[in-house]
Structure 1
């Protein structure tokens, strides 16, 4: 496999590590995925804006206190260039232990290649409008875990 192809596959590993860390409520593991810069930002599905590593850490800690969440990617679009990858993902967010209808979310992940690794620089998530949520709900994988 050409080295260039593997470069972009490694970004997918970072995205999967993000999903795994969220489902395990692993705050330290999650924070290790972010680029070490204060310009990082995270717009959460509830609309709150977190800027900088300290705000992101405290916001995620509060979220994990409320509940653990499994994220199921339903549709992934990838836009890449040599040093940046953008994932546009339709996701189902489900609180751990709940079998109710999940919250359907559009998320955009911006990752940059830094010191040989892909790191998250920005996440923007928003709840899907009802019509879009209905379209993506047909893709839900029942009882298979967050990464299937």
Structure 2
């Protein structure tokens, strides 16, 4: 487990570092954002639930070894913050380096806990966004 010398003063700082590390495919930087406890959880879009720091690290290592460089535009839908917990609901609009098309938007939940070393990620759960639905015509009875 890394020495967690990076101090994230806010959950927003930790979240920004998370996405920046993914864009750089920097596994060490990414893992400094995660809490180094065994209770961390990662769910990739369409993927299984992965728990435990070492397992989460291995999963991201495999993603980065795949070679595709990802770029994110993040839109925050909601944020619930109290003194020691932050829950962010976001939409991730992802492009792959060298391609113009945005992949299917991803709806993600990021949960952060505040400890002695600042804010750390404990859960990232991402799912493909359902297609935008068309309004249903109201039928009068």
Shared fold, TM over 0.5: yes
Match of 1:3 in 2: none
Detail structure 1 runs of 4+ shifted over 2 Å in the superposition.
none
Task: Give the corresponding residue for 1:76.
Answer: 77
CA RMSD of aligned residues (A): 1.9
**What residue in structure 1 maps to residue 86 of structure 2?**
85
Q: Secondary structure at the match of 1:82?
A: coil
Query: Which consecutive unaligned segments of at least 5 residues does structure 1 have?
Result: 1-7, 135-148
- 1:120 aligned residue: 121
Q: Distance in 2 between matches of 1:56 and 1:10?
A: 22
1:92 CA displacement: 0.6
* Length-normalised TM-score, structure 1: 0.79
Query: 1:56 deviation in Å?
Result: 0.7
Larger helix percent: 1
- Per-residue CA distance 1:53-110 (angstroms, 9 max, x = gap): 1111111011111212112112331101110000000111222221123220000000
Aligned equivalents of 1:101, 1:114: Cα separation in 2? 36
Q: Tell me the matched-pair count.
A: 126
Whether 1:22 and 2:22 are equivalent positions in the alignment is yes
The answer to whether the 8 Å contact 1:105/1:127 transfers is yes
- In terms of mean alpha carbon deviation, does 109-118 or 64-73 score higher? 64-73
